[in-house]
Amino acid sequence: MTMDKLEIKNLNRNFKFGKQKVLKNINVSFLSNKIYGLFGENGAGKSTLMSIIADYNFPTSGEVLLDGENVHDNDNALSKIYYMNQNNMYPKNEKIKKIFKLTKAIYKDYDSQLQEKLVNEFKLNIKLRFDKLSTGYKSIVKIIIALCVPCKFVILDEPTLGLDARNRDIFYRELIESYSANPRTFIISTHIIEEIDKLVSDVVMIDNGKIVLNDTADNIRSKAYSVNGPIDLVSDYTKDLSVIGKEELGQYVTIDVMGSLPNKEVPSGVKITKIELQKLIVNLMNKDGANDN
């Protein structure tokens, strides 16, 4: 089986006549049949990176390669990449059923059967015009297309924007079912990290235009801990560790750390637990000068 590889090499993007550096020497690869979480604060550079991968935007320097071929103006490579973004790319006055029909005409192996199933699951009225839909249902139209196109790399930028709890649940369930039936690579950027915590196999985090974390989710979880207890005991136990977060409550403190724990006995009254991915990412976002561990 051919293993596809999407490679970003030495990629930089400057705005405003080169004065503002949005992406700074990005080097990262996305491999076949994985689900990546792409995280970072607003303005970190996530959307710019995704748009460059899909050739909607262009780098100042560097390149995006799919199986060794530059994707820029490369119809063969770009046919394997689908980008669901927050912008509304469809004609405002077009009916949903026409949008689906046009998309099916572009993609030879578009999954019409799955589309019909998702339309029913989401209770989408395909006779409506796209501009008459709520923000949530515009997202649903995009989700349906993203799950039905026969692309090997599917990029989802805030896919649950405007969705209520029921429709978010449908989306995640259908994403898992679709991925299980037809493995391919998903790159998901979202601020609701806790909802995809158990979905993602790998994590890429951007801070101030740089990659500051790039690892498997399991490996990241295996070296992130919360140490809780009396301030003096916890402070002494964690004094030589890489601290990424701290919360004090009276005489007690919780210190979040990244890396290996010290090879010494845990003091009585001190409790150590694993950190959930959501809290870990938030801690790293809040930590000045976060770096790859």
> Mean pLDDT score of the chain, rounded to an integer?
92
Residue 229, in any domain of the structure: yes
Residue 291, in any domain of the structure: no
CATH of residue 126: 3.40.50.300
Query: 228 with 140, same domain?
Result: no
Print the domain residue range for 272.
223-286
Query: 102 with 236, same domain?
Result: no
The fraction of the chain above a pLDDT of 90, given in percent, is: 80
Residue 128, in any domain of the structure: yes
Which token pair is 163? 């969705």
For the chain, strand residue ranges (E) read: 5-15, 20-31, 35-39, 61-66, 69-70, 81-84, 153-157, 185-189, 202-207, 210-216, 224-230, 242-249, 252-258, 271-274
In sequence order, the β-bridge partners of residue 189 are 38, 157
Query: 153 with 229, same domain?
Result: no
Query: 102 with 14, same domain?
Result: yes
Query: 154 with 277, same domain?
Result: no
Residue 160, in any domain of the structure: yes
Domain's final residue, options 216, 239, 255: 216
What φ, ψ does residue 23 adopt, rounded to 5°? -125, 135
| Span 43-88, pLDDT tens digits | 889 999 999 999 999 999 999 999 999 999 999 999 999 999 877 7
Query: 211 with 235, same domain?
Result: no
Count Cβ atoms below 10 Å from residue 34 Cβ, excluding itself: 16
User: Can you give the pTM of this predicted structure?
Assistant: 0.90
Query: 195 with 265, same domain?
Result: no
Residue 189, in any domain of the structure: yes
Residue 293, in any domain of the structure: no
Q: Is 287 helix (H, G, I), strand (E, B) or coil?
A: coil
- Given this model, what pLDDT does residue 292 score? 39
Query: 175 with 263, same domain?
Result: no
Query: 85 with 197, same domain?
Result: yes
Which token pair is 51? 């748009």
Residue 212, in any domain of the structure: yes
| Span 201-234, pLDDT tens digits | 999 999 999 999 999 999 998 989 999 999 999 9
Query: 92 with 108, same domain?
Result: yes
Query: 136 with 41, same domain?
Result: yes
* CA–CA gap between residue 119 and residue 177 (Å, rounded): 16
Domain's final residue, options 193, 216, 239: 216
Residue 292, in any domain of the structure: no
- Given this model, what pLDDT does residue 18 score? 62
Query: 184 with 48, same domain?
Result: yes
3-state helix, strand, coil in the chain (%, to 5): 30, 30, 35
| Span 124-169, pLDDT tens digits | 999 999 999 999 999 999 999 999 999 999 999 999 999 999 999 9
